[in-house]
Each structure stands twice: as C-alpha cells, then as structure tokens.
Amino acid sequence: MRPIARARNGLSVAELLIGMVILGIVGMALTKVLSSQARYFDHQKTSNLARSVSRGPLNRVVSDLRMVEAAGGVIAASPTAVEMRVPYAIGVVCGANPGNNHTHVSLLPVDSAMYAGPGYSGYAWRGGNGEYHYTEESSTQEVGNLNVCNSFQIKTLTGEGARIIMISPKLDTAATYGTPVLLYRKIRYEFAPSVSVPGTTGLFRTRMTDNFTEELSAPYDGAARFRFYAGSSIVAQDSPPSDLSTMRGIEMNMTGLSERTPTGEAQKKRAPFVTAVFFKNRLN
C-alpha cells in the first residue's frame, strides 16, 4: 500500500525572491527616513551649540560693561578689545582715620561674591560737578572702624551686607563727608585666537591687576568685534571716538559658530547675534 503524498510547508523560490524584493524596498525607505532624521537632529544640535557660544557669557559681559562710569571708565578701546574700570561697590565718605592717612568709607550692601572676588584696582570719588576722580597707584583698602563713621553721623547698614573700609591714599580735601565713592576693577574684554577651539576666535576676559585671563566662550565668527556709541548718537561706529570720555555705549557682534560642520553641509552653523550695552553712570 503506497503512502499518501502530503504537501510540504515552506516557500517557493519565487515567493522568497518576491519577499526579499519587498523587504529591500521597505528597508531602503526606512533607511532614508532615519538618515533624514539623523541629519535634521545634527543640524539642530550644531545650531544650538552656535547659539550657546554668544548667549553663555552674555550676562557676565553685560553686568560688567553697563556699570562703567561714562566719562572716565573707558581706558582703551579698539574693534577687538576694550579696557574698562568696572565698579563693583559704592559707598560714601565717613571721615579720616586718627592718623589722617586713610579715608573711611561706608559701603552700601553689595553681593558678597562680587565683593570678595580678586582684582581691586583703585577707587574713584564724585566731585561736586558730577565728575569722578580716579586713584590707582598704590591704592589700598582695609577693614575700617565703625566708630569713625558714627562720629560723623554716617549711618551704616553693617548687618545687611554693608561694611566699613579704609582706603589709601586718603581722598582730596574736596571730598567731604557723604561724598560718593566707588571701588573698581580694571577689566579687558578681547576677541582673540581661541585656545579651546584652535583656528577660531574666542572671547577673553582679563583681570588687569594680575593679568589673569580666562576664555569665556568660543568659537566666534571672524566678524566678531566691538563697535562704539559716541555722544548722543544712536548709530554705532566702527572705530572708538578719539576722546574716550565721549563714549556712551558699546555694540557687540557676538555671532557664534558651531565647533564642527553638520552632516551634509559645507560650512559650520552660524548664529548671528548683535547686542548693545549703554553705560548707566552718565551725565549726558
């Protein structure tokens, strides 16, 4: 008795080939979608990195520059670098110490971290005409005596972050009790060749009293620079005014770049960014 032949389970060669062709088509479509998504996310990432280059140090730069005293705060300026006297504490004259070689100053409350930072460069006092007179050479500051201020009826908020200091050399005799005094640091901001991203431009901050330099961010576009507002003009000029006491603000081109070229692109991503800072302490 012969066994009954049964059909075998499986695919024919033709069916297998058709399935492979369909799978290849679907795979190519998925690969194209995944490649497109990967390129899109790479573009987004590099764009965000380019924007963060300029936005990262912005608060620090603005907080320094906006407090500069307009008439005498600018030391030097060029399209790639600016040197400033940056105030970080302000107070009023109390009186002379018993030896008459220091002047006591009662400071207003100030951020403790800002005050404790290194780089004291000198002080300036405000004359009756509103102009500040700067003292740098051999200038020192020490802890003062509260009794000196009390004797001249200068109220001091010692319990609210304020303090009494002595500054030397003593102020001019024209600086009477209650005369405003500010302490400042000399700071330089500069666009220069980057250390962290070689071959590009970086933004540097230098504490000029001890030449301590830190690179705030990089890379920047080659067009990164400073421009200047003089007098009452609302249009920034490329070169600083010949009389720096007429400078009233600074425009900063801080266009950032991505550190690498995104996939499928020929150039690095650029994030255009231009902002301006106008000095607060100005008479006109």
pLDDT in tens, 233-270: 889 999 999 999 999 999 999 988 888 887 777 788 88
Q: Is 126 helix (H, G, I), strand (E, B) or coil?
A: strand
Residue 116 scores a pLDDT above 70: yes
Closest to 134 measured CA to CA, from 90, 78, 72: 72
Q: Identify the domain boundary among 185, 214, 237.
A: 185
43-95 confidence digits (pLDDT tens): 777 777 777 888 888 888 888 888 898 888 899 999 999 999 999 988 888 87
Tell me the two tokens of residue 115. 């005050």
Q: Are 53 and 104 within one domain?
A: no
Q: What is the pLDDT of residues 14-33, one digit of tens each?
A: 777 777 888 888 778 777 77
Report, in angstroms and rounded to the nearest whole number, the Rg of the chain calculated over CA atoms. 32
Asked if pLDDT for residue 159 goes beyond 70, the answer is no
Same domain for 115 and 160, yes or no, is yes
Question: In the Cβ-directed half-sphere of 160, how many Cα atoms lie within 13 Å?
Answer: 7
Say yes or no: 226 and 150 in one domain.
no
Would you say residue 179 has pLDDT above 80?
A: yes
Domain holding 153, by residue range, is 83-185
Strand partners, 134: 124
Asked whether residue 106 falls in the same domain as residue 237, the answer is no
Q: How many helices (H) and strands (E) does the chain have?
A: 4, 15
Cα–Cα separations (whole angstroms), residue 74 to 77, 80, 89: 7, 14, 18
Same domain, 74 and 140: no
Q: How confident is the model at residue 114 (pLDDT cuts 50, 70, 90)?
A: confident
Residue where one domain finishes, among candidates 161, 185, 209: 185
Indicate whether 117 and 167 sit together in one domain: yes
Q: Which of 155, 185, 215 is the last residue of a domain?
A: 185
The CA-based dihedral angle spanning residues 217, 223, 225, 231, taken in that order and rounded to the nearest 10 degrees? -150
